[in-house]
A and B are shown apart, each in its own frame.
Chain A
Amino acid sequence: MNGTMNTTDSSVARRFFNSTLVAGAALCLVAGGVGCGRTPAASFRLNMVEATKQRLTAEQEKQVATVLLAMFGTPDEPTCLPETGLDEAKLRLAAGPVRSDIVGRKNGLYREHCAHCHGVTGDALGPTAAFLNPYPRDYRPGVFKFKSTERADKPTHADLVRVLHNGIPGTSMPSFALLSSAQVDALAEYVKYLSIRGETELSLMRAFFELDDDAQGKLPESREFLVDETLSPIAEKWKTAADAQIAVPPMPTGIDLVASIAKGKELFYGDKANCVKCHGVTGLGDGQANDYDDWNKAIVEINKEISSGSEKARETSTSGMSAEDLDEHRKQIAWLAKFDSVLDGDALRPRTIPPRNLRHGIYRGGRRPLDLYYRIHAGINGAPMPAAKGTVPPEEIWHIVNYIRSLPYELDGELGADKPMLARDRF
């Protein structure tokens, strides 16, 4: 009895042991063979919102993609024509998958630090973007908010480096001060590259509308059209950005700080600058709440067009329509439906832009008096903040700056507290 029991036990045990060994070995082989999976190479996304808006056909979209590929390369292998004025070596440092080169330098900086919000194409459609408030910047329209140049001009290279170095307080844009200056430089260059590429794409897509009939819906692929007429004007604006830098007069000396703040307060509440209209009579940013920045406004306008177009299409009776008209009508309905689905996948849900609460002491574009001067003088490009240039003389802008800087520290015991409290702590 014992003998048979032992044999049975031992053979069961042996079989179990052997089978686990075999199973483990098999698993290792499978895992080793299959590997961790290979991700496909990254590719730029076409600006589907614009393509749909311009009613491009599939062939036209393909032509735009091919032209952009020839002019700008891929996310892994960027190229740029000399007309762009960009440094291709810096682009290569920033582009591609994260890896170290033979000198031990980190490459793939954009993908490591930026792509998850700003997207591989710089279209603010990265996986994190929808969760952020405010949304990350979409570089494709070539509009940037925080810079030292006049409102409609591009930021200088130093402006981009400053934003990368300081981050944007009050938003999810972090400070990259811990990267080396060569790395920050490469990233700024890559942002310019994505912006120039995005603007070129928009320009090409809009050019289809201007074509005459014998072009047969195809853009000319001559150097003259693509480079001289399309790319160069865009690149020129970037190259000459430094010329558009705002000339800042020195702070007025004949007046002391308290008097300057008092003057600034008058201007803040006055009609010339009319700051209270948006920033509110207490500076809390509650003057109005219905406006949009340019990126969100574009989507809002498209949504309006889709809903009014859909309503019109629904109300149009198709009885008694000619064959042509019926065809047009059906095409319109198909286009409206397509646009709706493109917005689902290729656009962020629009949000209003609240005017800044000036009591917090958080200034997105920088807290130096100089930065506040720039914001007031040129306004904020892409946002409803208007330029005071022309309406408010430069010296008076400095008074407003001093008033703004005093707002978080205004002591106010009027709201029933027996101890005056700093505005920035109360609000």
Chain B
Amino acid sequence: MAKVVVIGAGFAGHTAALYLGQRLGKKHEITVISNRDVFGYVPSWVWVGVGHMKPEQTVFKLKPVYDKMNVKFVHAAAKEIHPDEGDQYVMGEEIGSGKEVRLDYDYLVVAPGPLLNFAGTPGLGPENGFTHSICSLPHAIKSRDAYLALCERMKKGEQVKIVIGTGHPGATCQGAAFEYIVNVHKDLVKKGLRDKADILWLSNEPAMGDFGVNGVQIKRNGHVMRSEEFLTSVFNDHGIRYQVQSGVTKVEDGKIHWQNYEGEEGTTDFDFSMLIPQFKGQPFKFVDKNGEDITSKLTNPAGFVLVDGKYGLPYPELAQTPDAWPSRYQNPTYKNIFAAGIAFAPPGPISKPFTNKNNLLIAPAPPRTGMVSGVIGRVVALNIADLIEKGEMTHSEPMTEMVAACIASMGDSLWDGNAVTIVMRPVVPDRKKYANEFGRDLFTSHLEMGVSGAWMKFMLHHTFIWKFKALPGWTIIPE
């Protein structure tokens, strides 16, 4: 009987656990260790953040789902991984009791989600800083409360400044921030308060609509349309000001400090701000059989687990080398360790990085959340099942082949809501396979705005929660 341990129960870890439970649960021991005992449907936290959805509608308890799927659940925080052959185990600390937990494994999936590195930008974040976040459910609730308090001030006639975007020169997840800013706009329009707010998009992207993936390009009526034009139209249409190519370096009470590509340093005032922090790997320690810390051998400097990618290529070379992107998410040294979702180390950025004259690197990190996380979780789980049952892996899916769909809602109403539907193929451009300057399949890639997107978003919320609860037919719902 093989033992498989999954660290984390987010999009990647939970997806991996469901597939592992389905394929191996009855014959082998599958265990999930997570510091949270609920699954959180992250894409809907945008709606929590403006008070349009109750927090409890976005979460459900994990244990009943795992019981059904023959997966053991341990509510503990993983602290150390001991990867050396002969004695491979994860040490954790039980939530609540603080008791030590030891989980032996034959195969390990590292999928704990990101460490929200608010400390990377002085003054950032809802706990020790002045800005808000929608990256966790407690943060989204805090964000909602602050936003609704701001609305009360606006009702009394006060003019306010709202800044939404990225809070670090290397932040990712611009899509979530974009969704939040347009939801705030829409909510203020509905409340009749839009004229009381000056709303600014502040982002580290090289261009509008870049999203950390070098933008999205589609073919429409014979010509190529870029997400830059599309998103610019959205913001102009909504009266949202925008400033890209800017890395936030510090936040003070009511003041955001930034630097741009030109090396100019500036400040922006705010009454309410939601800025996405830099993501880092979770601070586990990898320990060898002699008790030595070997974390730096298994992870990159940001703490993400090294897998089967080609690391160290300069950006121009990486942009022309699609095989540099990992396809099996397997650690090259410890081949029974896999990393899924945010946890795997990408070989480099997708969007062109820029270092300004002050030596500040402004480079959006590659997004590996949502659909990408789920797909990787599935690939990793199916490969582990293959290794256990057949002795060899049969699945692979690099981000240079992966399709991703993203629905950025603008209001949750099914009647007058709106959303931008984005489909890109592949997520990471493959300039060898697709003979155009963007390295994308311009026929499959798609960009569209309309009420239909709001219906899609509503449908996705319910179908994905259905899938993640492993209700009948969950496997036919794609990640």
The finding on whether chains A and B are genuine partners in a shared complex, rather than unrelated, reads no
